[in-house]
Structure 1
Amino acid sequence: GITLSGGQRQRLAIARALAVDPRILILDDATASVDATTEARIRLGLREAMKGRTTLIIAHRLSTIALADEIVVLDDGRIAARGTHDDLLETSVVYRDIYEHGLLERQFADAVEARGGRQPLEAAS
């Protein structure tokens, strides 16, 4: 047997789901195990694949859902807000906190990459 990485399994699952051309597509954290570059390529492909069908996307990365027609924000299992990405940045404290947390994570990852894989706060040894 062949062993696939988490990202490879996710890409395969997306391909299988799209192969049957469903009217309703449900993606549950479909880009959680892929790097940012792969996620961006998947998003581009999904943008085209979502045309003409209802798509539900469950995601922790806001970049995955930022272009959605409507975003529903859950907090402790309850709907805290709904709207577009721009609307929610203005009106929802919960969404804005999640967004800002994601920005910090991306900045940290970029800093680690720029330092050749060493975390910015590591002491020089």
Structure 2
Amino acid sequence: MKDAQTQIRAAYRAGGAEEGKAKGKELRLSNRLKIRSLLTQEQQKKYDQMGQRLETAEGPAPVYRVWTPVQGGKPVPVEITAGVSDGSFTEVVSGAVKEGQEVITEALGGNSKPTATQAPPTMRGIR
């Protein structure tokens, strides 16, 4: 996964967002083919159906809200578009955060109720 992250970042730096997206798509296809080669024929059939559903479900990337810590103040909300993720690191396709910048993805504890603008639990892996 680290190698894929490195390749995608390099593509973004070299050619911008479109190059990065194209590289991500290329790597996903390559990984699907590798996984497919390990499956039985019956499993391949199901795997292919899953892939078709994913391809047709692709639409605009979801926008999430994260917060950037501010020394001595309240964290500042920032909207981002997330890309590929391995559960530990998540690519930020767009938004006002820099690579390596610390962000807050969720609040734990307290008595506040979640709002519609808070990131869903699946965003725990964003770094």
TM-based fold match above 0.5: no
How does the TM-score come out when normalised to structure 1? 0.25
TM-score of the pair, normalised by structure 2: 0.25
